[in-house]
Amino acid sequence: MAKKPSSTIKSSINEELKRYSPSARKIIVSAQKLFAENGIDAVSLREIAVSAGHSNNSAVQYHFESKEGLIQAIFELRVPFIEASRKRRMESLQKQKKITLEDLLATLLFPILEMFDGQEQRIFTLFSTHLLSRNTLEHPFYRAQEKMPVSVEIYQMLEENLSHLPKDVFNFRIRLIAGLFLSTILEKQNFIKSGTGIYSDDEIFWGDMINVLAALLREPFRSDRRPLAVALAS
């Protein structure tokens, strides 16, 4: 089960932000909110500059060279802390006799829950959801792999665990479960706001979600045409 976000992690992220100038920090904070609310492609550099309090429309290019550079900076801001959480979980897993698919998924996904709470979690979740629609080579993770060795190791272990899936199908399903997990975070927030809930506690809820995602990955790939596929194609 994921731990509650700690004030230490949040303060550490703020410390990471201090690597940037005050002007660049305002751009990062403003941009991630705009990207989350409106989608990455729908937000212009001018909108970001105005939201960050800049009269100069080229402020983003000055600090980050391009929109892609800004997206990368937002993504990498939290990489050290997500990696640290995944590393702790991996070290714990390696003491077990057997590492299950559910273990790997929890190690990959639960650090997102540990990192954030409240509105910050919602902003990061929406931002990450928008990133999933990008081509694999355009996703910030692809360019940050050298900084994310534990994450890369987990992906490799997942691929080995799911060797029954063709490479392209594996990649697609991984993106699919990432999107489903992010959607679940948002749905969980809706449960809290409305005061409703199907599950008696968080541990049962997130355990069930991991089981569902694991089942999706375990499902064999069928290349033959099935009645539903024929109906959809007609």
pLDDT in tens, 125-167: 999 999 998 887 788 999 999 999 999 999 999 999 999 999 9
Residues 50 and 85 in one domain: no
Q: In this structure, which amino acid lies at residue 30?
A: S
Q: Is residue 167 part of a domain?
A: yes
Residues 204 and 88 in one domain: yes
Residues 71 and 124 in one domain: no
19 HSE (CA, 13 A, CB side): 10
In tens, the pLDDT along 84-133 reads 999 999 999 999 889 999 999 999 999 988 876 667 788 889 999 999 98
pLDDT at 6 over 60: no
Q: Are the C-beta atoms of 127 and 74 separated by less than 8 Å?
A: yes
* Confidence bin at 68 (pLDDT 50/70/90): very high
Per-residue confidence (pLDDT) for residue 49, from 0 to 100: 93
Q: What is the mean pLDDT of the chain?
A: 87
Q: Is residue 137 part of a domain?
A: yes
Q: Structural domain of residue 197, as residue ranges?
A: 79-233
Q: Are the C-beta atoms of 143 and 73 separated by less than 8 Å?
A: no
pTM for this entry? 0.85
Domain CATH number, residue 60 = 1.10.10.60
Q: Which of 41-55, 158-172, 182-196 has the lowest mean pLDDT?
A: 182-196
Q: Are the C-beta atoms of 112 and 183 separated by less than 8 Å?
A: no
pLDDT at 62 over 90: yes
Q: Is residue 2 part of a domain?
A: no
Per-residue confidence (pLDDT) for residue 39, from 0 to 100: 93
Residues 72 and 84 in one domain: no
Which residues fall within 8 angstroms of residue 193, CB to CB, at 6 or more apart? none
Residues 43 and 124 in one domain: no
Residues 102 and 191 in one domain: yes
Residues 133 and 227 in one domain: yes
Q: Cα(100)–Cα(165) distance, rounded to whole angstroms?
A: 17
* Confidence bin at 227 (pLDDT 50/70/90): low
Which residues fall within 8 angstroms of residue 7, CB to CB, at 6 or more apart? none
Residues 25 and 55 in one domain: yes
Per-residue confidence (pLDDT) for residue 129, from 0 to 100: 93
Q: What angle do CA 24, 29, 32 make, to 5 degrees?
A: 115
Residues 88 and 127 in one domain: yes
In tens, the pLDDT along 199-226 reads 778 899 999 999 999 999 999 998 776 6
pLDDT at 232 over 70: no
